[in-house]
């Protein structure tokens, strides 16, 4: 059974406590890390709970599932795609999501640009980088990131807010931390090379948000620690 709102509030308080603690430890300004609740594989109430507390963005990792929830959920929620995107779904995705975090190849950039051109809109994206070189994870390689940014900057309908990564699953927290440090270094290098701002670093989940914040995360994507184990797969 899905958790009730009271239990969610308790989980939220605990996650916000962990974020605040890491922010203090990193000597970063209060409020410099945002929380993106990840509602995938949870009922639509998960998104409504978040909105009720004033959090107006949530992350979903499948286009179909997200479209269904957008239809059912309370109004005022901004949906972010954090899961793999096929180019045949790019059109739907471009018109439905507020931002797409999982852009990992030029073909997707082209497809999103084309869709946004047709609808006369602009779209925010993050480039997903496999900074941990994890064979199980999507994302462009660190080596490909220069070419990806260069290509992305030519797409006038797309605004690149920054980078996203998923750390390898490893019991040793230093593995995730190294991955996050690499993403930050990659961001700093690209921002410098192309003379652009890449303010958003989307990194850190339930298990590794502390490490991510110590390495400069601006956005942690948290599912399990807020909503419990995912209900369906």
**Which residues have C-beta within 8 Å of that of residue 47, sequence separation ≥ 6?**
37, 39, 58, 69, 73, 74, 77
**Considering the complex, what minimum distance in angstroms separates the CB of residue 230 from ligand PLP?**
7
CA 152, CA 133: separation in Å to the nearest integer? 22
89 secondary structure, DSSP code: G
Nearest to ligand PLP of 10, 121 (CB atom):
10
Span of 11-19, 25-33, 66-74, 217-225 interacting with ligand PLP by CB under 6 A: 217-225
Q: CB pairs under 8 A, 24+ apart, for 134-137?
A: 134/166, 134/167, 134/168, 134/179, 136/168, 137/166, 137/168
Q: Which of 83, 132, 168, 216 binds ligand PLP (CB under 6 A)?
A: 83
Q: Which of 37, 162, 168, 223 binds ligand PLP (CB under 6 A)?
A: 223
**Considering the complex, what minimum distance in angstroms separates the CB of residue 168 from ligand PLP?**
13
The Cβ of residue 225 has, within 10 Å, a number of other Cβ atoms equal to 18
155 secondary structure, DSSP code: -
Q: Is residue 219 near ligand PLP by the rule CB under 6 A?
A: no
CA angle in degrees (0–180, nearest 5) for 196-22-206: 90
Span of 13-21, 23-31, 172-180, 223-231 interacting with ligand PLP by CB under 6 A: 223-231
Q: Is residue 82 near ligand PLP by the rule CB under 6 A?
A: yes
CA 180, CA 207: separation in Å to the nearest integer? 13
Residues between 19 and 48 that touch ligand PLP (CB under 6 A): 38, 40
Q: Is residue 207 near ligand PLP by the rule CB under 6 A?
A: yes
Q: Is residue 221 near ligand PLP by the rule CB under 6 A?
A: yes
Span of 20-28, 87-95, 175-183, 216-224 interacting with ligand PLP by CB under 6 A: 216-224
What residues make contact with ligand PLP under the rule CB under 6 A?
Answer: 38, 40, 61, 82-83, 166, 205-207, 221-225
């Amino acid at each position: 059974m899905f958790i009730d709102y009271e239990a969610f509030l308790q989980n939220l308080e605990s996650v916000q406590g962990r974020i605040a603690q890491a922010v203090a430890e990193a000597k970063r300004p209060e409020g410099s890390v945002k929380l993106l609740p990840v509602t995938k594989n949870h009922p639509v109430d998960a998104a409504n709970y978040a909105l009720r507390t004033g959090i107006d963005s949530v992350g979903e990792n499948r286009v179909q599932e997200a479209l269904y929830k957008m239809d059912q959920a309370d109004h005022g929620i901004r949906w972010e795609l954090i899961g793999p995107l096929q180019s045949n779904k790019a059109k739907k995705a471009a018109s439905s999501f507020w931002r797409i975090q999982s852009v990992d190849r030029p073909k997707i950039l082209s497809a999103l640009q084309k869709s946004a051109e047709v609808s006369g809109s602009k779209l925010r994206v993050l480039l997903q980088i496999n900074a941990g070189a994890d064979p199980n994870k999507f994302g462009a390689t660190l080596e490909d990131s220069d070419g990806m940014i260069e290509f992305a900057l030519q797409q006038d309908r797309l605004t690149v807010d920054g980078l996203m990564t998923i750390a390898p699953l490893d019991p040793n927290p230093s593995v995730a931390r190294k991955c996050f440090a690499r993403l930050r270094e990659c961001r700093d290098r690209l921002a410098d090379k192309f003379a652009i701002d890449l303010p958003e670093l989307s990194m850190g989940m339930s298990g590794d948000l502390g490490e991510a914040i110590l390495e400069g995360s601006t956005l942690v994507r948290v599912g399990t620690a807020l909503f419990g184990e995912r209900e369906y797969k």
